[in-house]
């Protein structure tokens, strides 16, 4: 959580002064980017962000000046993409930030510099090549950059899933039913449903003992978008001790409508209603059985 220390690093560490140098080494430029990225991404959170950093506009401008003279790395692409989104945020209240140098003219100038950096031809090739990396941190950076560039990473995520990594959340980020069929098939092979479907309890599902419950959750939470798919996974989630598993299963069934449930699901819900220990979940089961809409939250 770099956001918690970024403001202290920027102010006590003299970020603007460092960026005002004529030339920077790679490590200093990398560290400056990490600080600015954390100040921007963490703004509005519990820690102090870019709106609290008096030298923010000047530091961002100085950072971009150095980058425009360098080839640029993929990590820097992500920092600059965040800067561009910040400057183009028309819904933000900029009145207080103007006092820190974020005038309309300066924002426009920073956004133009960011656009120039992001428009370089090599980013897509760089992101695509790094998606093949076996190093997790390199891969994760490439995934973030690929999303910003509109590159589909599903095949890369699925290959990692097949190799044994828990990429369940990412492989469910698709609108392709055929891809979901592949994920469901792997989930039925890999996730020990009998060990999960031990009966309802009031568990939060935190810690290593609940790793597989979390994997199931990542799949089931998106099955609401794919009616009729993965009903076996949903049945197991309904009998899980983890409250969120059961709620995600109910969300899917409510979104599908009973005519897509299959023959055993109503009986399973009626049995679940009798033993459900959590009042809110019991209420939601009744709503689903009645064919009424439910809160799609957790």
- Owning domain of residue 16: 3-120
Rounded CA-CA distance 233/248 in Å is: 11
How many domains is the chain built from? 2
Residue entry with tokens 């956004």: 111
The two structure tokens encoding residue 281: 């979940």
Residues 110 and 178 in one domain: no
What is the per-residue pLDDT for 95? 87
In a domain, residue 81? The reply is: yes
For residues 35 and 104, give the distance between their C-alpha atoms in angstroms, rounded to a whole number.
Answer: 23
Residue 185 lies in a domain: yes
Whether 11 and 95 share a structural domain: yes
Three-class SS state of 203? strand
pLDDT at site 295: 66
Q: Is residue 79 part of a domain?
A: yes
Q: How far apart are CA 82 and CA 209, in angstroms?
A: 36
SS3 242: strand
Query: Does the residue 146 lie in any domain?
Result: no
- Longest pairwise C-alpha distance within the chain: 73
Residue 221 in 3-state DSSP?
coil
* SS3 label, residue 179: helix
Do the Cβ atoms of 183 and 171 come closer than 8 Å? yes
Tokens of 135: 């190093």
CB-based contact 212:195 (threshold 8 Å): yes
Q: What pTM, to 2 d.p., does this model score?
A: 0.86
Tokens 């299959």 belong to residue: 262
Residues of the chain with pLDDT under 50: 297-298
Residue 263, pLDDT score? 81
Let me know if residue 296 belongs to a domain: no
The pLDDT score that the predictor gives to residue 131 is 97
Q: Is residue 167 part of a domain?
A: no
Token couple for 249: 């299963």
CA distances, 15 to each of 104, 175, 289 (Å): 23, 43, 59
Residue 182's nearest CA partner among 248, 250, 229, 222 is 229
In whole angstroms, give the CA distance from residue 176 to residue 51. 40
pLDDT of residue 17: 96
**Residue 145 maps to a domain:** no
* Share above pLDDT 90 across residues of the chain, in percent, rounded to a whole number: 87
Residues 32 and 101 in one domain: yes
């Amino acid at each position: 959580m770099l956001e918690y220390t970024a403001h202290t690093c920027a102010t006590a560490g003299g970020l603007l002064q460092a960026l005002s140098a004529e030339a920077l080494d790679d490590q200093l430029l990398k560290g400056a980017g990490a600080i600015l990225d954390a100040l921007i991404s963490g703004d509005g959170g519990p820690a102090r962000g870019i709106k609290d950093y008096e030298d923010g506009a000047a530091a961002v401008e100085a950072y971009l000046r150095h980058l425009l003279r360098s080839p640029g790395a993929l990590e820097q692409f992500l920092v600059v993409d965040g800067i561009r989104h910040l400057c183009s945020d028309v819904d933000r209240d900029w009145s207080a930030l103007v006092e820190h140098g974020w005038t309309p003219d300066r924002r426009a100038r920073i956004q133009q510099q960011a656009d120039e950096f992001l428009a370089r031809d090599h980013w897509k090739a760089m992101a695509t090549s790094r998606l093949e990396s076996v190093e997790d941190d390199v891969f994760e950076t490439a995934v973030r950059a690929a999303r910003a560039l509109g590159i589909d990473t599903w095949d890369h995520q699925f290959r990692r899933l097949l190799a044994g990594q828990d990429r369940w959340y990412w492989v469910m980020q698709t609108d392709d039913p055929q891809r979901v069929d592949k994920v469901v098939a792997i989930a039925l092979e890999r996730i020990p449903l009998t060990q999960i479907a031990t009966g309802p309890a009031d568990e939060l599902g935190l810690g290593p003992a609940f790793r597989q419950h979390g994997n199931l959750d990542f799949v089931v939470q998106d099955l609401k978008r794919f009616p009729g798919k993965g009903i076996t996974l949903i049945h197991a989630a309904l009998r899980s001790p983890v409250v969120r598993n059961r709620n995600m299963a109910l969300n899917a069934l409510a979104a599908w409508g009973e005519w897509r449930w299959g023959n055993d699901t109503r009986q399973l819900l009626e049995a679940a209603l009798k033993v459900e220990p959590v009042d809110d979940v019991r209420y939601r089961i009744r709503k689903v059985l009645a064919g009424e809409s439910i809160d799609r939250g957790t």
